[in-house]
């Protein structure tokens, strides 16, 4: 399958077109409801309809724009936002093997923005620090499994303490997540995502995305899930989170399919990605945080 990665890299003056596979506010005190694989926290989350930092918010790393997937916490109630590891990658446009491409160093500053476009990065609404990258970790520990190297595309940004009160873990429009999906997807399963690449010029109607699974590929060991959405992911959508039909967090967006399934997308399996991060990030008690809003798929 021919794939292209989905980061918009303005720092290089061009859109990243990496090839993988064959050819990469007042705060409301709310404790998230516990579920398998998700943490119950006592963080004072912002109300969902006022939160500036949430799943789907734009994230900028040295000029490269990506999209937040889900919110995470640890044993000390620090707050993290996930996005794609390749958003902080330093390789060339054709470098997509996460085991062979270097990452910007941990400690790199990342901003949360709204209204970013081809003209500007929009308005900064918060900031954080890159504290984990699967690409950095795989190089450090010497990962060699081909599927892990190809599909483990996950990073964490620790939200600055001053901005934690701006965070809500709920996925806008849909609500949730309600936990982590652990059994993959089947052909025809419905999937849901939220995000707005800077390439879309701020058209908010395109932020909610409704998708359908193309069925899992057993050959990749459960690391990825191909799918179609009504509006396919484009550069800048990298990292976006996907929910299954029951509101579970199933994956994170990494690539756009070019052939043999044009305009399909490929998501990394969150259960696999998070398990790897729990083992190699050094973050004690790292867990997904459930949304404060109930999951409602609308359609």
Rounded CA separation 283/124 (Å): 27
Q: Closest by alpha carbon to 56, among 211, 294, 233?
A: 233
Set out the domains of the chain in order of their start, with CATH numbers: 2-172+272-289 (2.40.10.10), 190-269 (2.40.10)
pLDDT digits (tens, 9 = 90+) for 282-292: 999 999 999 99
pLDDT of 235 = 72
pLDDT of 281 = 98
For 63, residues 6+ apart whose C-beta sits below 8 A from its C-beta are 9, 10, 11, 12, 121
pLDDT digits (tens, 9 = 90+) for 27-72: 232 334 444 445 556 789 999 999 999 999 999 999 889 999 999 9
**Where is pLDDT greater, at 119 or 38?**
119
b/e per residue, 49-66, with b = 16+ CB within 10 A?
A: eebbbbbbbbbbbeebbb
Q: Taking the chain, what is the end-to-end CA distance rounded to the nearest angstrom?
A: 30
pLDDT of 238 = 86
pTM for this one?
0.86
Rounded CA separation 116/207 (Å): 13
pLDDT digits (tens, 9 = 90+) for 230-282: 776 667 888 999 999 999 999 999 866 544 465 678 899 999 999 999 999 99
**Where is pLDDT greater, at 4 or 138?**
138
pLDDT of 250 = 97
**Where is pLDDT greater, at 71 or 13?**
71
pLDDT of 59 = 96
In the predicted model, is pLDDT for residue 22 greater than 50?
A: no
What percentage of the chain exceeds 90 in pLDDT? Answer: 62
Q: What is the mean pLDDT of residues 207-221?
A: 88
Q: Which residue has the tokens 């044009």?
A: 262
In the predicted model, is pLDDT for residue 297 greater than 80?
A: yes
pLDDT digits (tens, 9 = 90+) for 133-143: 999 999 999 99
Q: Measuring CA to CA, how many Å separate 202 from each of 6, 123, 191, 216, 282?
A: 17, 12, 23, 32, 37
Q: What is the mean pLDDT of residues 102-116?
A: 95
pLDDT digits (tens, 9 = 90+) for 84-95: 999 999 876 566
């Amino acid at each position: 399958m021919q794939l292209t990665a989905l980061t918009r890299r303005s720092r290089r003056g061009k859109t990243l077109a990496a090839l993988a596979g064959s050819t990469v506010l007042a705060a409301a005190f709310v404790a998230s409801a516990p579920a398998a694989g998700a943490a119950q926290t006592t963080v004072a989350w912002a109300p969902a309809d006022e939160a500036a930092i949430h799943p789907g918010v734009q994230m900028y790393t040295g000029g490269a724009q990506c999209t937040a997937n889900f919110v995470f916490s640890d044993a000390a109630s620090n707050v993290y936002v996930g996005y794609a590891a390749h958003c902080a990658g330093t390789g060339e446009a054709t470098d997509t093997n996460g085991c062979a491409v270097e990452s910007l160093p941990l400690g790199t500053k990342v901003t949360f923005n709204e209204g970013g476009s081809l003209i500007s990065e929009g308005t900064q609404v918060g900031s954080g620090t890159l504290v984990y990258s699967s690409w950095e970790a795989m190089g450090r520990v010497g990962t060699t499994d081909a599927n892990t190297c190809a599909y483990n595309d996950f990073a964490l940004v620790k939200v600055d303490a001053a901005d934690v009160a701006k965070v809500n873990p709920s996925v806008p429009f849909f609500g949730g997540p309600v936990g982590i999906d652990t059994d993959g997807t089947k052909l025809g399963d419905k999937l849901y995502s939220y995000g707005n690449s800077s390439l879309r010029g701020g058209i908010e109607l395109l932020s909610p995305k409704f998708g359908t699974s193309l069925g899992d590929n057993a050959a990749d060991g459960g690391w990825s899930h191909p799918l179609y959405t009504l509006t396919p992911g484009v550069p800048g959508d990298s990292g976006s989170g996907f929910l299954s039909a029951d509101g579970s967090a199933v994956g994170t967006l990494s690539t756009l399919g070019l052939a043999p399934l044009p305009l399909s997308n490929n998501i990394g399996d969150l259960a696999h990605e998070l398990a790897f991060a729990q083992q190699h990030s050094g973050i004690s008690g790292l867990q997904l945080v459930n949304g404060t809003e109930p999951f409602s798929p609308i359609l």
